[in-house]
């Protein structure tokens, strides 16, 4: 019992500690593909330290939402971490507090507060970015639902720890068409939700073209650091759901031994590195879509998810 | 070494996966804007059909399906795309956006509705075709419907031809699950039919393009007498 609680806390610490690293590796890889040197992979840590030591400026026109939003954005991914398998393949202390839908709602709560805070300061770019993120968000919502339905339909459960077992036992289940189609659809969803290239350009500094970045333009000092860190953790958590629950449930700790848990950390990070390579190829070989083409992109993801549930209905 | 039973189940899953990707390629054909991308999707679709035929040939232990696969590869992956590229000038392929009657999200949702309809239509038939190939029938029928929809929704000649060929792919995919030991002569004649269709359409489109300067079939509607 205590060890399960302890392991749950270790998972949270891993997410807190390694989320900036994953983002740094991604930025470095992207620069290397474009044959540039690129920043160090520890740059996100330095950014966070710099922002935490700076003064914070808050507009006196803003309401409590603007002050509360960074904390909500920061805490939401931590709550989701308690529910999903990050390092272990058996349920931990808080695993049955909420299912995948609950996790989705908590993540959406963070996005909701970030959007509200962007509108709160009456910065014109903030409102524009908020409305765009909401557009991407409500188009992504049905895809999320369809993916969850397919996954829980074929696994008979909505708890992520139970779902992951279903895809590899027996091994031929891995090739189930609904599995592969759900993976494709969730990949498109991750690209849309984390603001990667076909949908949004995270490294762009032109306010009129921003989708995701413009929400945190008004923040400075500690608020900006918390928003950034929350964003890194959201990316990390989405990768955990994608890799540990949907694609490759291997490499997780199987026993209650502390060494197994520690061994799982490099294995999970290695899986993430492989996925980042794929993401870099996608981001470097495609161009950013025009804003109204995003509808088509997410419709394609929706169609893929529904095709997965259609084929899955045949009980192959 | 794996025993025969788990091998069979893996091959069944792979066949189902091929069918799932086939369904996806049908949707992709509706979503693509460029003519060249449409042609590439068609080639991928024909490859998937051949893979499915090979896997079913292994499961049913018939050599007919391997013949089907090789005929498909020869006709639809090599000869038909080559003919389409040769018979129609490059200007047509260089055009970036194909105009459609409906916008792409709407077309995709209609295609999805057609696929659900195909699944609902074949569900009473599935117990009769029980076995490893039971995904092929609904997916093939969905391919048939979506191919017909592509013909209706596009305004260009070349994607419409590709739509007809996609219909044929769907029919083949459904056919190999129902009749795994169809005689070779039927497969050959079907493949030749496809070839002749492409040749005739290609030459016709070439002539039209030479005389009129466009291959927009959608413009034919303004050709009426007042």
Over the stretch B152-172, which tens digit does the pLDDT of each residue have?
888 777 888 888 889 988 988
Over the stretch A213-255, which tens digit does the pLDDT of each residue have?
777 778 888 888 998 899 899 999 989 888 888 887 777 777 7
Task: Find the mean pLDDT for residues B82-91.
Answer: 78
CA atoms A55, A229, A41, A133: torsion sign: negative
Question: pLDDT grade, residue A176 (50/70/90)?
Answer: confident
Question: pLDDT grade, residue B145 (50/70/90)?
Answer: very high
Q: Is B100 on the interface with A (CB under 8 A)?
A: no
Q: Which SS3 state, helix, strand or coil, does residue A253 take?
A: strand
- How many C-alpha atoms does A56 have within 13 Å on its Cβ side? 14
The answer, yes or no, to whether residue B173 has pLDDT greater than 80, is: yes
Q: What are phi and psi of A88, to 5 degrees?
A: -110, 155
Q: What is the ipTM of this complex?
A: 0.82
The answer, yes or no, to whether residue B202 has pLDDT greater than 70, is: yes
Average pLDDT value over all residues in chain B: 82
Query: Under an 8 A CB cutoff, do B135 and A171 touch?
Result: no
Interface of B with A in 5-44 (CB under 8 A): 6, 9-10, 12-14, 16-17, 19-21, 23-24, 27-28, 31
User: In the block, which residue shows the tokens 């030749």?
Assistant: B192
Q: Which two tokens stand for residue A162?
A: 């139970």
Over the stretch B176-192, which tens digit does the pLDDT of each residue have?
888 777 777 777 787 77
pLDDT at B58: 86
Query: Under an 8 A CB cutoff, do B10 and A313 touch?
Result: no
Query: Under an 8 A CB cutoff, do B115 and A310 touch?
Result: yes
Query: What residues are paired with B100 via a beta bridge?
Result: B154
CB nearest to B17's CB, from A171, A180, A306 = A180
pLDDT at B218: 67
How far is A188 from A182, CA to CA, in rounded Å? 10
CB A248 within 8 A of CB A168: no
Give B-chain residues touching A313 at CB under 8 angstroms.
119
> How many domains is chain B partitioned into structurally?
1
pLDDT at B144: 93
Q: Quick one: DSSP state of residue B74?
A: I
Least confident of A56-65, A77-86, A131-140, A307-316: A307-316
pLDDT at A50: 92
The answer, yes or no, to whether residue B1 has pLDDT greater than 60, is: no
The answer, yes or no, to whether residue B79 has pLDDT greater than 80, is: yes
Q: Which two tokens stand for residue A246?
A: 């949907």
Question: pLDDT grade, residue B101 (50/70/90)?
Answer: confident
Q: Is B99 on the interface with A (CB under 8 A)?
A: no
- How many C-alpha atoms does B175 have within 13 Å on its Cβ side? 19
The answer, yes or no, to whether residue B81 has pLDDT greater than 70, is: yes
pLDDT at B48: 92
Least confident of B13-22, B88-97, B100-109: B88-97
CB A224 within 8 A of CB A51: yes
Return the percentage of chain A with pLDDT > 90, whole number.
11
Query: What residues are paired with B154 via a beta bridge?
Result: B100
Give A-chain residues touching B135 at CB under 8 angstroms.
177, 311, 314, 316
CB B46 within 8 A of CB B103: no
Give B-chain residues touching A303 at CB under 8 angstroms.
27, 108-109, 111-112
Over the stretch A256-287, which tens digit does the pLDDT of each residue have?
777 888 888 888 888 899 999 999 898 888 87
pLDDT at B129: 65
User: In the block, which residue shows the tokens 């400075």?
Assistant: A220
Neighbours of A174 (CB within 10 A): 17
pLDDT at A285: 85
Give A-chain residues touching B119 at CB under 8 angstroms.
310, 313
How far is A236 from A246, CA to CA, in rounded Å? 15
How close A250 comes to chain B (CA, Å)? 19
């Amino acid at each position: 019992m205590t060890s399960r609680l302890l392991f749950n806390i270790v998972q949270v610490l891993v997410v807190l500690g390694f989320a900036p690293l994953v983002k740094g590796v991604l930025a470095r890889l992207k620069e290397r593909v474009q044959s540039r040197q690129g920043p160090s992979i520890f740059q996100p840590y330095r950014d966070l330290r710099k922002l935490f030591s700076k003064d914070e400026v808050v507009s006196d026109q803003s309401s409590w939402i603007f002050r509360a939003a960074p904390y909500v954005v920061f805490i939401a991914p931590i709550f989701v971490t308690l529910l999903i398998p990050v390092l272990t393949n058996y349920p931990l202390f808080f695993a049955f507090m909420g299912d995948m839908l609950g996790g989705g709602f908590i993540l959406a709560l963070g996005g909701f507060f970030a959007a509200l805070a962007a509108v709160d300061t009456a910065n014109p770019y903030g409102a524009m970015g908020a409305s765009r993120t909401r557009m991407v968000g409500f188009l992504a919502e049905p895809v999320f639902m369809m993916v969850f339905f397919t996954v829980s339909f074929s696994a008979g459960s909505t708890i992520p720890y139970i779902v992951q077992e279903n895809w590899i036992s027996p091994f031929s289940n891995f090739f189930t068409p609904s599995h592969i189609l759900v993976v494709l659809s969730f990949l498109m969803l991750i690209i849309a939700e984390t603001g990667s290239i076909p949908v949004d350009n995270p490294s762009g500094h032109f306010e009129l073209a921003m989708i995701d970045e413009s929400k945190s333009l008004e923040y400075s000092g500690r608020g900006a650091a918390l928003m950034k860190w929350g964003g890194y953790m959201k990316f990390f958590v989405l990768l955990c759901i994608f890799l540990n629950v949907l694609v490759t449930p291997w490499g997780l700790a199987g026993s209650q031994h502390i060494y197994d848990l520690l061994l799982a950390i490099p294995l999970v990070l290695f899986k993430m590195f492989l996925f980042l390579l794929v993401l870099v190829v996608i981001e470097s070989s495609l161009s950013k879509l025009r804003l109204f083409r995003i509808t088509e992109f997410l419709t394609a993801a929706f169609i893929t998810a529904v095709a997965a549930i259609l084929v899955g209905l045949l009980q192959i | 070494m794996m025993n025969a039973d788990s091998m069979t189940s893996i091959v069944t899953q792979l066949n189902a996966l091929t069918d799932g990707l086939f369904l996806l390629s049908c949707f992709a054909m509706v979503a693509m804007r460029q003519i060249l991308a449409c042609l590439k999707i068609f080639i991928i679709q024909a490859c998937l059909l051949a893979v499915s035929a090979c896997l079913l040939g292994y499961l049913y232990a018939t050599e007919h399906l391997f013949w089907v696969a090789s005929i498909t590869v020869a006709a639809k992956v090599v000869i038909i795309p080559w003919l389409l590229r040769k018979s129609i000038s490059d200007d047509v392929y260089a055009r970036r956006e194909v105009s459609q009657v409906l916008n792409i999200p709407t077309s995709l949702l209609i295609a999805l509705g057609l696929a659900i309809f195909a699944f609902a239509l074949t569900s009473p038939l599935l117990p009769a075709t029980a076995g490893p190939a039971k995904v092929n029938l609904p997916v093939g029928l969905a391919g048939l419907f979506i191919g017909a929809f592509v013909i209706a929704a596009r305004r260009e000649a070349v994607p419409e031809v590709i739509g007809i060929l996609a219909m044929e792919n769907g029919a083949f995919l459904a056919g190999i699950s129902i009749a795994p030991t169809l005689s070779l002569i039927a497969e050959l004649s079907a493949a030749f039919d496809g070839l002749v269709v492409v040749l005739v359409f290609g030459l016709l489109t070439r002539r039209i393009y030479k005389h009129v300067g466009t291959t927009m079939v959608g413009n034919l509607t303004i050709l009426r007498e007042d």
